[in-house]
Structure 1
């Protein structure tokens, strides 16, 4: 690669301002276009701020070309933007080096990459993979598929009756056969914050690698992968105010270097003959084909946006709002909150006696309150809780106490409509 192609724009330090959710909200055009919208489905996918939307449009207007291959100036600029995005992600996660960042389509693809590349290379029949009852399907199904293929065993760590990971039970499941622990950082159904530092310590003491699903954590908490000590960490751009179709797999460089490629194609190769192919070093070895260049650029802009607000401030804001919502909802007759353990952030799941969550969400929509209803891609957790589905309200940087008041009012309206409480 030429010196020109290796040049990358410097990552500008974020501009920090006082956190004000109403001021933040004004940076999201969806709310101006949809007056009165109370958006409480950020855990599914976050809305996008002007800086991301405008930055993506400007990239397409001024700098777009395919990356890594072109020798002309426009391609060099595009390559620099793409690789600067990798640097930005590494900085955001405090990775030791940008080469530990692999761009993928989302957290689901990142988990599948580990399952399909690392798994067959390092697992054998009789080995064990440990997950928890809190997991999203994306952190269950790839491991099930791998176990069926290799003859490995999937072991499930339980939660306690309060909705928290049972750490003692988890520790008791770890054996000399445990090769991987795959666990969420923040549960997508409950918002419960898992003590992943302790999970990593226990797993490493047993000789196992650790993959953490950070989809709900990265938008809400400061994440330092070196401090966590995990071997893999995944998250999706669209949940942290960035574009859809882009995600990140972080892996320690030594782990990446030991993994064979998963997909084959352009840009992950060094040389190709009909007899043999040699491959690029990580991370390019795992990025076959034309990547989502604009998605990476947009993700970097989203990370700048969040850092500008301050990750500690975001955590404090969303944790306080979550506590307020749990308190307000639990004060209503006929409403039951799903347990989330000692600490939760950003998400509240609940039931309303006599109302199916889908009916509840439909009624809420008539009041401009957007929530998620269903099993939230966590059917095993629903089975553990003895539920078919829940209603889920999830918050973002643009959410405030007025949104919680609207949520409470919508519950009361639904109960009145079905005669479950007094019409007064």
Structure 2
């Protein structure tokens, strides 16, 4: 019988750089004791195994990259802050909406392998001959803006971020929000966050994060007095707790899930992650730790280990094949009507030159609404933002002050549509 493993991060304390550990039995027993959830899980896993076999045949036998298997995958997301009162100030709510977008920006960078620290792999790769390279998937996480559930009070065109709702009520699913990739941010005591190993958006399953493990930067004043999210724990201040937990939601296990002779059926069941049975903490140097399963070096920089945010920076191609297979098996569960039809806006403007030196032009064919422009780097830091009225020129020249070379993202928001385009600054 297949088992569900639900992953937790349990902090031993709330001190700086506290270690992460994993405890699963309580959640395992709860899910397996629920006949409805158990049936959902087992049927889904059976469907996933068939899809994974198909993708493995296509990717590894033909040599086709996972990026070419499917077109860009869009995931509608919703964020929930049950501890924030609906009557909280507009300043706090707007800050938390921005923090949610900051978290989404980090997710998109990590899953597309456009994060700044991915460059560290070039010097680390020689220690890991079984790892064929860095894994990525053509994916775009998007905060939903349309057709929200009735009774939630969120107007059409407004991002799916809720405050003060009784979401989950202590459980791990809410059918009201079925069809979204839900993230609940609440005070979980000493727990850093958790997610099912293989989640079902159609059943309203969710990822739960503690307030101080969400987003990055200085957080929002007044959210948790004296405890701004993302700034308390120096080891978890880059938003990668959600990168890790979403990995679980898309059926990735820990890289330290055990040893075995057949990588397809033992350990984390991904053949290009070196097997290990011991989790790693802190910020170990690449190649410095020999696996408990043999002579291979532990892939400590993988998102599915327990190292600090600053020292985890990559997935492997095998992991991304597994993520793609899980997405393919649950794709129909996402409610894509919650995403705006961005094609009209996307086809109405272009950005040039690209690449550029930090100065570029956005040209619209016509303007039917006011719009804003936001530029952020691959760490999620906003480097430019401005708002333009409908009467503005059809061309706007954007100049970033003293930019570093690398990949940046441009958000163009018009009405209820948000378009994200990638640019390269040399």
Asked whether the two chains share a fold, i.e. TM above 0.5, the reply is no
More helix by percentage: 1
Greater RCO, CA 8 A, separation 6+: 1
| Bigger Rg, structure 1 or 2 | 1
Q: TM-score per shorter chain, which class?
A: under 0.3
TM-score (norm 2): 0.23
More strand by percentage: 2
